[in-house]
Structure 1
């Protein structure tokens, strides 16, 4: 596994360590030797030092306090009329490797409300106490460097169960706030350089949500997509290179009237959901009434949907557990790739995502085999944003995918 320090100067045997504290930055203290130690890895004139971490009890109390103080969230089960968007979100929660979802639609169609309502459904995960990267105590791929070294040394790690986190990325965020930064001021005043983890560190093993993603600077979108694809974030400042795990589900939403993302950026999102305004009068009335009930008394409204929410939570948890056992027939995989080839989809992301999404849908339905119906349901969302735009084409790209699907599969 790659060392967080640049390969040109770092010893190959030991990874760098990060602070386990969530309240303090990581200190890089000047030294002259290159000697690995238990709580730090010395490199040239710097070492990454460990500081005190909060206990499991403190972390649980903090999480409980945050949950009580947060504003009420509209229940996911109460959202009606946006089945395509809801399905794409659920499939990404079941299999985060699908690669996230881009939601485009008219203003006022509940895009942000639906994404934020996903918080209640997110399953619990095991994390190492005090680690700023939400390290998994069992999976080296999503361990911070310090945690990984402690495991290699045979140390028993304190573990706590926590909800998957959802991080909101504000439009005005700077690259330093997103990726993390090394504080040069401390170097000048105290002779110490400190690394402050950013939003990507907080979002590791969670969800990163960008509202109005089409208004975000392209270079920042590129950073997010690169981190989401590689699973690692690298910060390089003043000759120092530091990496940490950054595996998250990237969810973006936007209004097409405000502009589209560049095709090469759009292609990096696993799925694409189109959201339209509900036209049925009865359904519109129901949505208005439900929203009025929620605004009147959020607690009572949430309690009325508690049973449905718990049922959906159990369904997601079961699907995540059974996902590895789901199989897709070789003949179906060949036909998926044939659809992608005949639609002139660039690259292989379309093939990979369609296979993953179909398996996740089968797991959600409680089956261990993918059917043609599963593929038909997910393939428009997996391919429509990957087609080359034809300015003279009047037909929706999703309909083109559906037509080609039935042509190949029947």
Structure 2
């Protein structure tokens, strides 16, 4: 079913393909949808630059997923790694499952959320008196197979950020209380956004985000006029505005679906892998996350372009997004971290076509 033109939608969403500018942010989000193992996106930029609008537009664009009906974890009926324990037990007993489709979920994490609200709670009294694991799922359960969006992530409690990143990395959430332990799948794309004026994330936490997109207020007057006009048209007649972008939306959706299908066949030359690691080493990037994410993102962008072979141009486009937040801060350095990475790339790769 094509949900894009669903007139019953209570709150029409601004179309992803109508968003002007902010190419870094849009590319990072699309690549994470193609390969969620990239590890999410941290979007840093000024207020009013369309961060949350873009994330919601992406979710609206994505195809529906198959889920087990009335399951609180959006269980995938075909993948045991994405099933709740209850669904796995039903399959083992050969009991039939009611299967339906739904839009990929997008869960907003409120700033004041507690750990119980995020991870879920265990009703100890019920567990002890009735002998059952009484679990009340939290936001991580609702976000399984979807997108978890944290606005102003730099204002979130560090402990809570740790919990989110651990779940995003492992794909599982475990709640333990009074000797009782419950685990459930929590495989989601973590998208954080924030305003650098309100403080940066700790480097250890920043490093855990796969990609980092920097966005700013559009400066070009003609683009600013276009953005204002687009918004005015959408506010005046959202359904009509969305209809004008239906063809572009469907094209991009099909391109993403195709990219996800061919991703497993995409290859990257060993020579390019070595060059990527040389760049990470020369930039003094701690650990190997930078190397791993850059390789994954390069494959994802090749798949997005419909190719099964990574080119230097692919790497050039994504390497600043993968490494800029992993560089050690030098307050005396005037060059932008993205430009520094691009310059080093050009020196390491013999030729690049811009």
- Please list, as runs of the form range in 1=range in 2, the aligned pairs for 1:16-35 lying within 5 A after superposition: none
Secondary structure of 1:68's aligned partner: coil
Q: Which has the larger radius of gyration?
A: 1
Aligned to 2:249: 309
Superimposed CA distance per residue, residues 153-204 of structure 1 (whole angstroms, 9 cap, x where no aligned partner): 3334332222211111111111101000123465699887621000000101
* Distance (whole Å) between structure 1 residues aligned to residue 345 and residue 179 of structure 2: 51
Aligned to 1:179: 119
Higher RCO, Cα 8 Å, sep 6+:
2
**Number of paired residues?**
348
Deviates more, 1:303-312 or 1:152-161: 152-161
* Distance (whole Å) between structure 2 residues aligned to residue 155 and residue 186 of structure 1: 27
* Distance (whole Å) between structure 1 residues aligned to residue 176 and residue 44 of structure 2: 34
Aligned to 1:384: 324
Please tell me the root mean square deviation across aligned C-alpha atoms, in Å.
2.1
What TM-score do you get using the length of structure 1 for normalisation? 0.81
Unmatched 5+ stretches in structure 2: none
What TM-score do you get using the length of structure 2 for normalisation? 0.94
Higher relative helix content: 2
Secondary structure of 1:287's aligned partner: helix
* Distance (whole Å) between structure 2 residues aligned to residue 188 and residue 151 of structure 1: 27
**Does 2:338 align with 1:398?**
yes
* Distance (whole Å) between structure 2 residues aligned to residue 71 and residue 133 of structure 1: 24
Superimposed CA distance per residue, residues 181-232 of structure 1 (whole angstroms, 9 cap, x where no aligned partner): 1234656998876210000001011110001111111111110000000111
Aligned to 2:306: 366
Of 157, 160, 163, which residue of structure 2 is paired with 1:223?
163
Secondary structure of 2:110's aligned partner: coil
Matched-pair contact (CA < 8 Å) for 2:7–2:239: no
Matched-pair contact (CA < 8 Å) for 2:15–2:61: no
Aligned to 1:279: 219
* Distance (whole Å) between structure 1 residues aligned to residue 158 and residue 20 of structure 2: 33
Aligned to 2:16: 76
Secondary structure of 1:132's aligned partner: coil
**Does 2:56 align with 1:116?**
yes
Aligned to 1:22: none
Deviates more, 1:68-77 or 1:155-164: 155-164
Unmatched 5+ stretches in structure 1: 1-59
Secondary structure of 2:247's aligned partner: helix
Aligned to 1:105: 45
> Cα 1:67–1:333, aligned 2, differ >3 Å: closer, same or farther?
farther
